[in-house]
Chains A and B, each alone.
Chain A
């Protein structure tokens, strides 16, 4: 029988090394050996994704590499998911995420979603070109505690402010943290529209939300 630690290490390596087509078989061997699914997810797949994120931060990995790493992570998760106990996946709060109305560029949003999911947030992805009202509705329906807004288009920036205003009008602004990101934005702009924070990269977005939600050690 295969060694548990070795399999976990291999899952992690598969994710980092862009081996998205090998990861499912290894995850299956792991499950067939009767080991705990959570450990493979957290210490294998998520660990690999975190290492990929580190390489991204260091300028070794770029968008194509991260997309393939995340494919690998999800391919592994598909095998593990039926064996996870309830609560294994969501270790942190629910986050509504989307690209604001007027913009269809979603690479940045997808990267943030991937990193947040790997970090234990439950993501509710509204997609791209999302009207402000829809963010508010999703927060209410899902009991989300955070909202992530993204745009690459400067023309859509003001729609982020509209989301914050609507949350205020609905009286739920205090119940959610709003974080923003995207090419044309700056920390100053985030403050101006009343967001709780801005991050420059997908990895920083996780750190930012961990800080805001009090998950940071």
Chain B
């Protein structure tokens, strides 16, 4: 952290005002890897709100990353509505069984109460700690899953995929009750002062068609975004996999940022929606950040910067998706240090030069 001369808050404000800053914002997207930084078991996040917040802060202190977010896994909301999850001692929670199995049972689902159900109260509580710890350093956010994706975990992934053709009414019902849960949770977060970010992986073009997305997911996503806007916040949206055919739909919701995965192109995203929202991404979290060498990370980071730095509405250097828990610290340091070396404002010739040198070095290693 001592490596940076500005706090993330100062940096963000300076860039927004067109003033001099030390570097681009950078969010490696460390996810539950924060447990490795802080030195706790991942399962502690399921019950100890203070640990979630402290692990976030420890990660900022270790890497200087420009993001603090309360989010442990995709299943907290479905769990709070009756789905069963597996919670390993030291790994990320996974879905075990969905909340309902039959069309008839969908009517029995109730929206979750963020102050009462499942692990949601733990998360709400951790927001208060994080808000307190991060005062003056940066704004923090609360991750929430989108209504369509949450519906998948209420009904089961394979089964709801078929319902997208066979019984759209059922999907609408699942999305509606999910939306109520998402709104209640987002409201609780905003009451504490955290801005929601939305993850909507099942809306990806890698999973469903743009047509299905527009009919069954987008209307609910829009209501969630509108709800957040009404309260004076503006969310970032992350969707994994390929998203090129729905960039415009999501940007038209008036969101603050589009966080895209490594299989999507920053260059093309910039051309499509760069005048509407910030673009965030898209260093490959698996092959590069987790399994690559520091040199691979340097190349990946420079490539993203080269494509994104001049996005009209701004750019954040980020991993394409949450990092695997065991991602080497050395690689995360390399990502941050590369962004520091590039500096701000970004000089494209310098980035080209750095990238060329790194690529030559890798070719040399290959010989």
Residues of A within 8 A of B (CB): 18, 59-65, 67-68, 71, 104, 107, 110, 153-155, 157-158, 183-186, 188-189, 192
Contacts and interface: CB of A to CB of B under 8 A. Distances in A.
B287 A68 contact: no
Nearest to B166: A68
B285 A68 contact: no
Contacts of A185: 286-287
B106 interface: no
A154 B285 contact: yes
Given A104-B95, A107-B158, 9 more contacts: A62-B212, A68-B162, A153-B324, A154-B324, A183-B240, A183-B241, A183-B286, A184-B285, A188-B287
B324 A155 contact: yes
Interface in B268-324: 284-287, 290-291, 324
Most chain B beta carbons < 10 A, residue from A63, A65, A110:
A63
26 contacts: A61-B209, A62-B205, A63-B208, A64-B208, A64-B209, A65-B165, A68-B162, A68-B166, A107-B157, A110-B158, A154-B287, A154-B290, A154-B324, A155-B91, A157-B286, A157-B290, A157-B291, A183-B206, A183-B286, A184-B285, A184-B286, A184-B290, A184-B291, A188-B287, A189-B286, A189-B291
B21 interface: no
Interface in B313-339: 324-326
Given A154-B285, A157-B291, A67 B161 contact: yes
B167 to A, nearest CB: 12
B109 interface: no
B89 interface: no
| The 7 A-B residue pairs with the shortest CB-CB distance in the complex, in nearest-first order | A184-B286, A154-B286, A64-B161, A154-B324, A62-B209, A186-B287, A64-B164
A154 B291 contact: yes
A194 to B, nearest CB: 14
Interface of B: 91, 94-95, 157-158, 161-162, 164-166, 205-209, 212, 240-241, 245, 284-287, 290-291, 324-326
A186 B324 CA distance: 16
Nearest to B208: A62
Contacts of A64: 161-162, 164-165, 208-209, 212
Nearest to B296: A188
B111 to A, nearest CB: 26
A150 to B, nearest CB: 13
A66 to B, nearest CB: 9
A60 B291 CA distance: 33
B218 to A, nearest CB: 15
Contacts of B158: 67, 107, 110
Nearest to A129: B94
Given A154-B324, A183-B241, A63 B207 contact: yes
B324 to A, nearest CB: 4
B94 A104 contact: yes
Given A63-B207, A184-B285, A155 B164 contact: no
B287 A67 contact: no
Contact of B165 (A68, A110, A158, A183): A68
B305 to A, nearest CB: 21
Nearest to B241: A183
Contacts of A65: 165, 209
A166 B165 CA distance: 43
A78 B184 CA distance: 47
A107 B166 CA distance: 18
Contact of B161 (A63, A157, A186): A63
Nearest to A151: B286
Contacts of B290: 154-155, 157, 184
A186 B263 CA distance: 11
A63 B209 CA distance: 8
Nearest to A18: B165
B350 to A, nearest CB: 27
A155 B161 contact: no
B326 A155 contact: yes
Nearest to B95: A104
A208 B267 CA distance: 30
A111 to B, nearest CB: 11
Contacts of B212: 62, 64
Nearest to B94: A104
B203 to A, nearest CB: 11
Contacts of A62: 205, 207-209, 212
Given A18-B165, A64-B208, A107-B157, A184 B325 contact: no
A192 B164 CA distance: 39
Contacts of B207: 62-63, 107
A19 to B, nearest CB: 11
A68 B164 CA distance: 10
Contacts of B91: 155
A186 B241 CA distance: 14
A71 B162 contact: yes
A67 B326 CA distance: 33
A57 B161 CA distance: 18
Contacts of A67: 158, 161-162
Contacts of B240: 183
Nearest to A110: B158
